[in-house]
Structure 1
Amino acid sequence: METTKEQYHSIIQSKLQDAQLRNNLLNGMDTLKTNRKNLIANRFIDWESLREKAKQLKNKNLSKLDSLLETFEKNATQNGLKVHWASTPQEANEIVYELMQQNSVNKILKGKSMASEETHLNAFLKQKGLDPIETDLGELIIQLIDEPPVHIVVPAIHKNRHQIGEIFRDKLNAPLETEPEKLNEIARIHLRKEFQEFKIGLSGVNFAIANEGAIWLLENEGNGRMSTTACDIHIAFCGIEKVIESFEEASILNALLIPSATGAPVTCYNNIISSPRKEGELDGPKEVHIILLDNNRSNMLKDSHYYQSLSCIRCGTCLNHCPIYDKIGGHAYLSPYPGPIGKVISPQLFGLNKFSPMLDLCSLCGRCSEVCPVKIPLAELIRDLRSERVGQGRKNVIGTTKETKNPAEIKAMQSFSNLATSPKQWRLMLYLSNLLAPLSKPISPILPLLKQWVTYREFPAINGNLHKKVSQMQGVIYE
């Protein structure tokens, strides 16, 4: 379904007015940013060289992704894993549904998987009368209140411990608690009952190792290991861009992923799955199914510019540093993927016509590009996608139709271009702005354009004599 500017304006306004949300996000983002900054400073000798190496590594793997996928399928099949190909979200969801039907299962326990959020698997299974149960703590919290993840790494970061205590009290009939240890205990007791009787578990994939035919999962909670080893059947959702040639290369990416995501040196659980349960082994699933999801990733890959967005390792650090995200949260993006990376991949995965307004949620400050561990030029790609929606650019993005072109926006940018490239007109505009600013400030809350600005920002300070100061610094004399 296409999202409109009106929908974005409505939800953004509601999020900006939610003081508790903004406070929760500010606290969470500040903690993640501080932890990352301190870890990089104290533990890494040359972080920037590692980033460059990771960038080159991802580009190399993406350049031969077709052959790596074939190698992965061959080796995984030899290991006893069952590989499925899904071109669309519908195909991926149908594979899960068919496996549940074949095994007479009406309940599936899920570890964290953004790919399954991308395909809206939960909603699909519920429509079929089946029960998907989230076991990641953050995912459990938001499932109880019927919300999607607000962040790709910490899905419930918009809720504080007091709010979570109320959710557990209302939805799980638990005593009201606010201490993290008590809240974890409530979730653990609730989920243990589910883990005792389930047959099918689902997970995401952080890295799929082509040379070994294995998958590598990173988790901070034990539910990830339970969802993949205590079941009879394990299903893993894997975007095709997650395939990496070797464990050595994946280790380099892993060294960047966890510090960028949480500011920790390593994650609690590293699960490497190379086969189903073998004869004589006491645990592990009897079957392992890996769904390789395309969903327009092939289209992204063929473009010599936008393919860079497929380098994402889903660390979420671009969200943590975004001055827009920490004011409105992930739900305001109306996409499974929020924040800077969401603005880059959502229009390409789902269609520019569906997520065009999302591109406005960016100040082009460039923080996301500066912190991305694999050096994706996110700010540049966002700017270029804005060009695509007005009929310029490379014209390779799916869903680029006349509906994405806003005549008023095009006319406004043309007018600004004419103004900004004419020294006389530009100086006149600054002079008039400086002259009228004192008059405009008192009535700005009712002026059509300014009222949207001053609702959440200070009135802009405008200095009409700025051009003279710049001219003097440059040694240029204007008549």
Structure 2
Amino acid sequence: MSRHSIYHSKQEYHDKVKQKLADKQLGANLKSGMDTLKTNRKKLIATRYFDWEGLREEGSKIKQNALRNLDTLLANFEEKATKNGIKVHWASTPDEANEIILKLAVDRQVTTILKGKSMASEEIQLNAYLQEKGIKAVETDLGELIIQLIDEPPVHIVVPAIHKNRNQIGQIFVDKLGSEYVSEPEELNKIARKHLRKEFEGFKMGISGVNFAIANEGALWLVENEGNGRMSTTACDIHVAICGIEKIVESFEDACILDTLLVPSATGATITCYNNIISSPRKEGELDGPKEVHVVMLDNNRSNMLSQPHYWKALSCIRCGTCLNHCPVYDKIGGHAYLSTYPGPIGEVISPQLFGLDNVSPIVNLCSLCNRCNEVCPVKIPLADLIRDLRAEKAHEYEGKIAGYKNTKVNSTEKKIMEGFASFASSGSKWRFAMTMATLAPLAKPVGRMIPILNKWLLNHSFPEMSGNLNSKVKHMKGVIYE
């Protein structure tokens, strides 16, 4: 795997979206997976939580208070973690984070590293970096293992291989692991377990992400369902955790509330199978646990996000993925079409700020502004509103300071179209005229694919059907709304 460029042109986005829309198997897999996650979440919230909205409000306050006091909490965390025997490293950029981890491995003569699931490691492209330096990074999460075998990035921030069904996974194991073809989940798990057990034998260094970093205790909280995270952080001599600075919370009580929101939102379950709380290296007399624990605190433009009045709330994200699960765009094209580490609504908000608006500006167009993400986010991040603001940033309508703002090119045609729409939408007479002209829309069907701009829209859309008497509706609008 080689490190990929973070810059992607508008044409690259168009080509990737077109490719994914044409993939019928992908569409079927995504629909099945998304429907299951949404249904499980809905049933659980309806039957097990008497005040889910109150819990969301509490979670939102916890995250926002932590972000408002982030400098103090980070200092407290470093002090307490250091006292506990955990070595805290600070990385402003992905390169700095990668170099810290590489030095830890080289100094200890480590050539193979086993990894639990970590989106932060994907963000800094750690696997590709280590491979360039001659160090093998092995994913131990089942979904991450599957996509590593076929050299793909995660398609989802919680279920990285949800775009593959069990038959496809069976064939991947045949091709990459030399196993016999099976398609039953239990048998597939056996194959993965047998493969990974060999890797776990005698390994020295494990890497994980962090769900919550507890400032008052100097402790790390990791949640998982497979046990690989516990193996990767307990059976090794050196454990390295990669933690975005926004993962800091003040107390275990705060983390418990956030965990209660995270798990149902992510998987539709009440609790994960494993909750790993790491507060120190192995102590004298203990039989297991790492001899060294390191945590790399990653900034990568998060401090800049925190200074932005429009966008700082996006740092409240607890990485549950429910905004992806409910997004009508994501479930048609999948995560790879976003050409970014973080896909879906949350990806559209944080990617321009982490990687630069210049590099990923087309990503903010992958949204219908339906507001579903706002409604389901467990910590009440106004994602659709922030996406709308980012579109304004892209059109240079805000004097923002997000990464890459000044160099982002404005699409003159798009700008003129939106200015025209704004003119019609803010004028009663113009809007009534537009609605009247809409009655002629069916006449454009035969020639629509020959009309510039409209022909591009029709590549992935169909003409809406006009129902009822539109003229009478226009007259009603005139009488009730504008007079």
TM-score, length-normalised on structure 2?
0.96
Residue 175 of structure 2 aligns to a residue whose secondary structure is helix
Deviations 1:341-395 (A, max 9, x none): 0000000111111110000000000000000000000000000011111111241
2:453 counterpart of 1:449: yes
Q: Share of identical aligned residues, percent?
A: 65
CA deviation string 1:294-330 (max 9, x = no partner): 0000001112231100000000000000000000000
Structure 1 residue 405: Cα displacement: 1.9
Give per-residue Cα distances to partners, 1:255-278, cap 9 Å, x unaligned.
000000000000000000000000
- SS where residue 445 of structure 2 aligns? helix
Q: Name the structure 2 match of 1:83.
A: 88
**Equivalents in 1 of 2:424, 2:192: separation in Å?**
59
Equivalent residue in structure 2 for 1:220, among 216, 225, 235: 225
Deviation at 1:422, TM superposition (A): 2.7
Q: Distance in 2 between matches of 1:360 and 1:179?
A: 39
For structure 1, the 5+ residue unaligned runs are none
The Cα shift of 1:401 comes to 2.0
Equivalent of 1:255, from 250, 256, 260? 260
CA–CA separation in structure 1 for the residues paired with 2:19 and 2:354: 27
Query: CA separation in 1, counterparts of 2:354 and 2:472?
Result: 47
- Structure-1 residue corresponding to 2:397: 392
Distance 1:146 1:419, change over 3 A: same
Residue 196 (str. 1) matches residue 191 (str. 2): no
Residue 319 (str. 1) matches residue 324 (str. 2): yes
Q: Aligned residue for 1:179?
A: 184
Q: Give the Cα separation in 1 of the matches to 2:479 and 2:55.
A: 43
Q: 1:22 aligns with which of 8, 11, 27?
A: 27
Measure, in 2, the Cα distance between the counterparts of 1:451 and 1:78.
64
Query: Aligned partners of 1:424, 1:180: CA distance in 2, in Å?
Result: 61
Residue of 39, 60, 68 corresponding to 1:55: 60
Task: Provide, for residues 143-180 of structure 1, a one-character-per-residue CA deviation record: whole Å limited to 9, x for no partner.
Answer: 00000000000000000000000000000000101000
Compute the displacement of 1:432 (Å): 2.6
- Trace 1:302-313 onto structure 2 (pairs within 5 A): 302-313=307-318
Structure 2 spans left out of the alignment, 5+ residues: 1-5
SS in 2 for 1:272: strand
Q: Report the Cα distance in structure 2 between the residues aligned to 1:418 and 1:314, rounded to whole angstroms.
A: 39
Residue pair 1:165, 1:176 contacting (<8 A) in 2 also: yes
CA distance in 1, matches of 2:82, 2:481: 74
Q: Does the aligned pair in 2 maintain the 1:142–1:149 contact within 8 Å?
A: yes
TM-align CA RMSD: 1.6
Aligned pairs, number: 478
Query: Following the alignment from structure 1 to structure 2, what is the Cα–Cα distance between the partners of residues 407 and 458?
Result: 26
1:127 paired residue among 123, 132, 138: 132
Asked if 1:469 corresponds to 2:473, the answer is yes
Q: Work out the CA distance in 2 between the residues paired with 1:192 and 1:462.
A: 60
- The letter of the residue matching 2:461 is R
- Secondary structure at the counterpart of residue 446 of structure 2: helix
Residues 112-191 of structure 1 correspond to what in structure 2 (within 5 A)?
112-191=117-196
Task: Give the C-alpha shift of residue 418 in structure 1.
Answer: 1.7
2:71 corresponds to which of 66, 69, 72: 66
Name the CA shift for 1:284/1:125 in 2 (closer, same or farther; >3 Å): same
The Cα shift of 1:416 comes to 1.5
Give 2:93's aligned amino acid: T
